[in-house]
Amino acid sequence: MLITAVTAASSMANFFLPVYFKNTLGFSGSEIGLLYALFSVTTILAVVPVGLRNDRSSPRWMIALSLALTAAAALGMAASQRFLVYLGVFLLYGLGLSSFRISTDALMFKSGDAETSGTRWGVFNGFRMVGMGLGTFGAGYFLTRFSFPAGLTLLAGVVAAALVIPPFLAPVKVGFPGLGEYLADLKAPGVLGFMGWLFLFSLHWGAELTCYGLFLNDTLGLSIPGMGWYMGVEFVVVAGTCFWAGPKCDRGMDVRTLAIWGMLLSGVGQVLMCSPDPAVSLFWRGVHGVGDGLILIVMYLGVARLFHPERVGGLNSGVNLVMMLGAFAGSLFFGPLGAALGYDVPLKATGVLVAVLALPLVGRRVRKTPDPPGDPGPPLPAIPESP
């Protein structure tokens, strides 16, 4: 319930805000790219300390702190119009939202049965995507009837109300692992290849953050409600994919096969969604959503099976650090490129890149990662040794 409510409330900021920045606040393509690039920087600066803290104290208290920060920042965004002021509160918003995500992940990694981890991650990500779908459906109509500042105020209220939930979340076992233990885990076979592979995949997030909403609005000519329906359909597809793929992995589906199909479908779908026909574009965006759903399961299973539960908070934050660096680089490069050459160009370019990432996994022997000490779960059979 918590993850669904917060993602539903925050979904407006994922793709609708660039339209607000450009059409209402008058920000340039470079300024929009800088906003989202520095949004990623806040995660880069915070992700490791937050992850390490979640290994040393119950993640539920970090969840509460992150919710309070997110609510305060959303109120600041609702009241801000000048670029430099907006930049400051937007960074605080990024810090709060990323801390929430890292902390909820840590709580999930540290609790539950390792033998059914695929089902757990399928359900967790499925309900997260349900929240995003509901949020984008609703945001399209809300923003048309009211305004972006009103929407941000509503976001702040929903997130603040969610503060009643963390005290009731389950406590988990914590410890005090040393730096050497974290470094030893990072040097294990397959870990750096897995992280590099995810870095390249995450470049397309930067293109989406800065160009996706503007492509729908400017190129396809969709209204704000139309954008909400378009995006919402994709999130429903991603949710359904997660609900299906997670249990399949527990029943023996090869994770490498899942990763190959995920990259191919995500990449091809992103290229072909740039069709000027909205119906054709939506179909291929749905295909892209199937691919992204598969990769979500691969990513979480990779982290769960590569790292010991006692250190997974900090090590998962390292994985997220790498992926946010990819989003940062993508935002900084593709924001200005989309404004100069058309918002479809970054989407097509990153779609080709994502599809190509399936190639290292095809027809090569992949070393199986041994179980971490104390983890009864099966080894992950699909982590590439290099991207």
pLDDT, tens only, 270-320? 999 999 999 999 999 999 999 999 999 999 988 888 888 888 888 888 888
pLDDT band at 64 (very low <50, low <70, confident <90, very high): very high
pTM of the model: 0.81
Element (H, E) at 368: none
CB distance 306 to 194 below 8 Å: yes
Average pLDDT of 367-386? Answer: 39
CATH number of the domain residue 306 falls in: 1.20.1250.20
pLDDT at 268: 96
Radius of gyration of the chain (CA): 20
| Identity of the highest mean pLDDT range in 55-59, 268-272, 323-327 | 268-272
Distances in whole angstroms, Cα of residue 104 to Cα of each of 66, 181, 244, 313? 10, 23, 22, 10
Q: Total structural domains in the chain?
A: 1
Average pLDDT of 324-337? Answer: 86
- Residue 8 phi/psi, 5-degree rounding, is -65, -45
Residue 381 pLDDT exceeds 90: no
Instruction: Return the biggest CA–CA distance within the chain.
Output: 55
**Does 231 reside within a domain?**
yes
Residue 374 pLDDT exceeds 90: no
Mean pLDDT of the chain: 84
pLDDT band at 382 (very low <50, low <70, confident <90, very high): very low
pLDDT in tens, 204-254: 988 988 888 889 988 899 988 888 889 889 989 999 999 999 999 888 888
**Does 379 reside within a domain?**
no
**Does 372 reside within a domain?**
no
pLDDT at 356: 94
pLDDT band at 42 (very low <50, low <70, confident <90, very high): confident
> What is the rounded end-to-end Cα distance, in angstroms, of the chain?
36
Cα gap 111→117, rounded to integer Å: 10
Residue 387 pLDDT exceeds 70: no
Residue 371 pLDDT exceeds 70: no
**Does 382 reside within a domain?**
no
pLDDT at 19: 79
Least confident segment among 133-137, 151-155, 283-287: 133-137
More confident residue, 43 or 384: 43
pLDDT band at 116 (very low <50, low <70, confident <90, very high): low
In the chain, what percentage of residues exceed pLDDT 70? 89
**Does 366 reside within a domain?**
no
> Residue 146 corresponds to which amino acid?
F
pLDDT at 372: 43
Residue for token pair 């935002």: 331
Give CA 48 to chain center in angstroms.
16
Cα gap 197→117, rounded to integer Å: 22
pLDDT at 71: 93
**Does 369 reside within a domain?**
no
**Does 375 reside within a domain?**
no
**Does 386 reside within a domain?**
no
Give CA 324 to chain center in angstroms.
9
Quote the domain boundaries for residue 167. 2-361
H helix runs in the chain, sequence order: 2-10, 12-15, 17-23, 29-56, 59-79, 83-109, 117-145, 148-161, 179-186, 191-207, 213-214, 224-250, 255-272, 278-306, 312-341, 344-356
DSSP-assigned letter for residue 220: S
Average pLDDT of 8-16? Answer: 74
Residue 114 pLDDT exceeds 80: no
User: Cα dihedral angle (292, 293, 297, 299), rounded to 10 degrees?
Assistant: 20
Q: Strand, helix or coil at 24?
A: coil
More confident residue, 245 or 378: 245
